[in-house]
Amino acid sequence: MKLQQVLSYVRRAVEDYDMIQDGDKIAVGISGGKDSLTMLYALNGLKRFYPKRFEIHAVTVDLGFKNLDLGQIEALCEKLQVPYTIVKTDIADIIFEQRKETNPCALCAKMRKGALNDAIKAAGCNKVAYAHHKDDVVETMLMSLIFEGRFHTFSPVTYLDRMDLTVIRPLLYMNEADVIGFVNKNDVPVAKSPCPADGYTKREYVKQLLRQLNLENPGVKERMFTAIQTGNLKGWPDLIERPKPVPKKNRNHEE
């Protein structure tokens, strides 16, 4: 997938859900994975031509795993001329060595977001972009149904009143396969997650379940996503119907 195609998806999501306003300074949360780096490329490309002017600032929360190399990502941000902040933490040591958590993901996410939000505010940003794509939206909905008994997923735009910070999700319309295609085609320097829990979570279970459902029932993921968009969920406003383009008249047609 080419960058122009990624930009098309991202611009449509940004416009459909009014994610960006003039003067925004947007923190781009960079985990080092394929999704967040694709979003970095996308927002950096979008700001060059988008009519509403905005800035971006890349931020990574380093959890403290000794085998995480962020050198290539630093080089990428320098190449793209995007300011980059790395927040050093001891989260990995606290969770896996000191507390020896058997279910580490919830506590890790809470601590990571706390460190990220502090860094975002220190950088003077009023928004943060998370790299959740369409698969993430549907997987979160399935997790909520299966493990919590409710129909829920995160929304395109979320205002965090305690932090006076707005979360946006510009990759909302991209499939995970689109992201993989972009990363492979453009040699994006993905840093593999060193977390020992990676690939052994409830989300991974649901990811495989959704994949199987979509194989057996082609199009089921798209239908689920449509159900989310039209299901009156909190934070998912009805999209304003756009005017349909007027077809050009056939010059050879006699009026």
- The reported pLDDT for the residue numbered 200 is 63
pLDDT confidence tier of residue 196, bands split at 50, 70 and 90? confident
Residue of 107, 112, 119, 28 lying closest to 73 (CA atoms): 28
Single-letter amino acid code for the residue at 137: V
In whole angstroms, what is the distance from residue 250 CA to residue 233 CA? 44
pLDDT at 154 over 80: yes
Q: Which residue has the higher pLDDT, 67 or 231?
A: 231
Give me the pLDDT at residue 163, please: 86
Quote the tokens at residue 123. Answer: 């950088």
Question: Is the confidence at residue 212, as pLDDT, over 60?
Answer: yes
Q: CATH number of 3-230: 3.40.120.10, 3.40.309.10, 3.30.2290.10, 3.40.50.620?
A: 3.40.50.620
pTM confidence score: 0.87
pLDDT digits (tens, 9 = 90+) for 114-125: 899 899 999 999
- Calpha distance 132→8 (Å, rounded): 16
Distance CA 159, CA 167 (A): 6
**Cα separation of 234 and 154, whole Å?**
9
User: In the predicted model, is pLDDT for residue 32 greater than 50?
Assistant: yes
